[in-house]
């Protein structure tokens, strides 16, 4: 039997229609969406299924919609495994990319689904409000060698607050900070060997010190929520260290707002610890593409299968 990890996508994987076919075919998935709607006091499922896209893409909407859809995929998979008599493997890890950490925490029993969707709704609002008066921006850098990252950070930081938001895959970096620093990034990155720099169409500087107000706001909210020890080992976004207790989980959700996401380190750590099959739990295939570049010998399965009538791939069915 494969040694698996569940991995959960973050903001950017949302699309109008996500989860609709799944909920129509799976009572377990439909129950997740119903519970998320009840927790928020509004039909986030309708926004996920019908849009409009500009409203779904708003940070405070995208995050709870993504969490609900990811957990709907997880529960639909468990439902199918049970119905078809498939012995469900126990994941060696659960890991989330940025906001996907909340989905991983729900999957590992750290927080409830209801608390999860409410927390990411507040997270989105706080992120949008954080750093007001300091124009934030983000950019993707392609083709830069990892060895050049410290020099990039040192040089660009002379122009303003700046840092690495996401190390997504070899040669794929996302940086974040004040607009002046991001504007200076392209030329500096090119001098250091980058192939291309793309300024992203976002209005917040995620995973940067500009999110300090959001982090403190989340610290206050998280203090009111019941946390449990994870039933599945988790990894910190910033450095892939183990997150194994309720207190460590609470601290992680504060820290990762201002620290970067080292997805390369997380995948490498899971592979080194014996994971040979990564199952992407949620809409889209963003993480699958990244993992194939980080751990090319691993098997990667995305549950979102456009070829299936219910859009659910069922691993280990054969």
Paired residues of 163 in beta bridges: 176
Confidence (pTM): 0.96
Average pLDDT over residues 229-244: 97
176: annotated active-site residue: no
CA pair distance 197, 140, nearest whole angstrom: 6
pLDDT higher than threshold 90 for residue 311: yes
Contact status, residue 205 vs residue 137, Cβ threshold 8 Å = yes
H-state helical runs in the chain: 20-25, 27-40, 44-50, 53-56, 59-83, 100-107, 113-129, 149-156, 179-191, 212-222, 246-258, 263-272, 286-294
Identify the pLDDT of residue 224.
94
Average pLDDT, the chain: 96
Pairing of strands 261-262, 196-199: unpaired
Average pLDDT over residues 207-235: 95
Q: How far is CA 254 from the centre of its chain?
A: 15
Q: What is the pLDDT of residues 4-46, one digit of tens each?
A: 999 999 998 999 999 999 999 999 999 999 999 999 999 999 9
Active-site pick, 70, 130, 207, 256: 207
pLDDT higher than threshold 90 for residue 299: yes
Identify the pLDDT of residue 202.
81
Average pLDDT over residues 115-131: 92
207: annotated active-site residue: yes
Three-state SS for 28?
A: helix
Identify the pLDDT of residue 133.
62
pLDDT higher than threshold 80 for residue 134: no
Identify the pLDDT of residue 132.
72
Contact status, residue 242 vs residue 233, Cβ threshold 8 Å = yes
In the chain, what is the greatest distance between 2 CA atoms, to the nearest angstrom?
Answer: 59
Average pLDDT over residues 119-131: 90
* Structural domains of the chain in order of their starting residue, each with its CATH number: 4-130+210-302 (3.40.366.10), 136-203 (3.30.70.250)
pLDDT higher than threshold 90 for residue 265: yes
The percentage of residues in the chain with a pLDDT greater than 70, rounded to a whole number, is 99
Active-site pick, 13, 45, 70, 98: 98
CA pair distance 318, 315, nearest whole angstrom: 8
pLDDT higher than threshold 90 for residue 286: yes
Identify the pLDDT of residue 130.
84
Q: How far is CA 269 from the centre of its chain?
A: 17
């Amino acid at each position: 039997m494969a040694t698996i990890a569940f991995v959960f996508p973050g903001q950017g994987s949302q699309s109008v229609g996500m989860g609709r076919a799944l909920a129509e075919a799976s009572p377990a998935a439909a129950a997740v969406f119903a519970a998320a709607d009840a927790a928020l006091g509004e039909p986030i499922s309708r926004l996920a299924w019908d849009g409009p896209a500009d409203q779904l893409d708003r940070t405070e909407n995208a995050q709870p919609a993504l969490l609900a859809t990811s957990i709907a995929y997880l529960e639909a998979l468990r439902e199918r495994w049970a119905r078809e008599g498939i012995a469900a493997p126990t994941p060696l890890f659960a890991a989330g990319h940025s906001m996907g950490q909340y989905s991983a925490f729900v999957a590992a029993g750290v927080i409830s689904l209801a608390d999860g969707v409410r927390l990411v709704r507040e997270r989105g609002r706080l992120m949008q409000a954080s750093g007001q008066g300091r124009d934030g921006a983000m950019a993707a850098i392609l083709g830069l060698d990892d060895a050049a990252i410290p020099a990039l950070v040192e040089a660009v930081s002379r122009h303003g607050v700046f840092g690495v938001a996401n190390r997504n895959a070899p040669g794929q970096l996302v940086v974040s900070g004040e607009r002046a620093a991001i504007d200076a990034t392209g030329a500096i990155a090119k001098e250091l060997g980058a192939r291309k720099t793309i300024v992203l169409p976002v209005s917040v500087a995620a995973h940067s010190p500009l999110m300090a107000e959001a982090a403190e706001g989340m610290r206050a909210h998280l203090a009111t929520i019941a946390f449990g020890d994870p039933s599945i080992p988790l990894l910190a976004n910033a450095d892939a260290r183990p997150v194994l207790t309720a207190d460590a989980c609470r601290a992680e959700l504060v820290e990762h707002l201002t620290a970067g996401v080292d997805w390369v380190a997380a995948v490498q750590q899971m592979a080194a610890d014996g994971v040979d099959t990564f199952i992407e739990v949620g809409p889209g295939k963003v993480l699958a593409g990244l993992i194939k570049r980080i751990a090319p010998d691993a098997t990667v399965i995305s549950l979102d299968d456009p070829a299936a009538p219910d859009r659910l791939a069922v691993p280990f069915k054969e």
